[in-house]
């Protein structure tokens, strides 16, 4: 039985017919199941080949938009050109040389943050701290709520002590960043750059909700009206559609690929 309802199938067919489209998706919880250790994450079978097939078609730009740093995202996804990788919540872009440019104040804050998070982790056994080029991320996935909850609260409190940090909570994670663009602005900017007539975005988390909202508020009102946003999994959402899991994502991407091929070359 298909995980895609008739309304979503119809929306995919309409989306496939636009001349230039941006197909963008989060990685964790969308292409790859959520796992205890972020470095163990791998995409489910079929998702990446469908994205590569879409990227090979005229008029299609495909992007992975993730909170992960750029290089781990590239390694774990196996993504290759021409797929675009947008990492660190929009602060890194595979099409740009040099990565992040942090000023001295940001570098000093990052060093201070690292020390404070070492103390936090020591006081909350089992907590993991992920190192990113411009951020540190506290992970509590797999811990009992009575253990993980206080650790996340401590991370949020740490963020409040440093007002210049950008604090982004998610599913059993809190990211503390010294440089942050946001998935929403990154998606709209990418759509502008590639001249997209319509944008599809799939996500599963708080930061993806910001992406859904930004696409609805896209200053290009015609493109905003043609957006297609899909929430993967449960939770409140402003997305237009919902599908249950990563395997439904593969079905969606394969359905879109077939529809785009049937629609023929971009006009």
| Structural element, H or E, at residue 225 | helix 221-225
- Based on the residue annotation, tell me whether 26 is a catalytic residue of this protein: yes
The Cα 91–Cα 181 span in angstroms is: 5
| Structural element, H or E, at residue 71 | helix 70-77
Of 27, 28, 50, nearest to 261 by C-alpha is: 50
Q: Spot the catalytic one: 5, 7, 26, 103.
A: 26
Strands (E), the chain: 21-25, 60-65, 84-87, 92-93, 128-132, 135-139, 166-170, 173-177, 198-203, 228-232, 241-243
Q: What angle do CA 43, 44, 48 make, to 5 degrees?
A: 60
Catalytic residues, by residue number, are 26
């Amino acid at each position: 039985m298909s995980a895609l309802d008739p309304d979503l199938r119809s929306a995919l067919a309409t989306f496939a017919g636009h001349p230039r489209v941006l197909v963008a998706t989060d990685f964790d919880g969308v292409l790859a199941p959520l796992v205890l250790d972020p470095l163990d994450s791998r995409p489910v079978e079929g998702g990446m080949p469908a994205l590569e097939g879409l990227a090979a078609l005229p008029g299609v730009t495909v992007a992975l938009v993730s909170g992960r740093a750029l290089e781990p995202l590239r390694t774990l996804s196996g993504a290759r050109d021409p797929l675009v990788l947008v990492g660190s919540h929009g602060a890194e872009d595979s099409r740009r040389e040099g990565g992040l440019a942090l000023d001295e104040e940001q570098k000093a804050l990052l060093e201070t943050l690292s020390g404070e998070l070492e103390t936090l982790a020591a006081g909350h056994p089992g907590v993991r701290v992920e190192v990113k080029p411009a951020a540190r991320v506290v992970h509590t996935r797999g811990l009992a709520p009575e253990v993980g909850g206080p650790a996340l609260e401590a991370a949020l409190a740490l963020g409040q002590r440093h007002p210049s940090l950008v604090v982004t909570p998610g599913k059993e994670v809190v990211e503390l960043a010294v440089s942050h663009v946001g998935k929403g602005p990154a998606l709209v900017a990418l759509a502008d750059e590639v001249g997209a007539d319509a944008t599809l975005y799939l996500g599963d988390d708080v930061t993806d909700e910001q992406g859904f909202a930004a696409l609805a508020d896209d200053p290009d009102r015609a493109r905003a009206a043609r957006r297609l946003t899909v929430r993967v999994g449960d939770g409140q959402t402003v997305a237009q559609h919902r599908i249950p899991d990563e395997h439904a994502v593969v079905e969606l991407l394969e359905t879109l690929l077939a529809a785009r091929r049937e629609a023929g070359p971009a006009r």
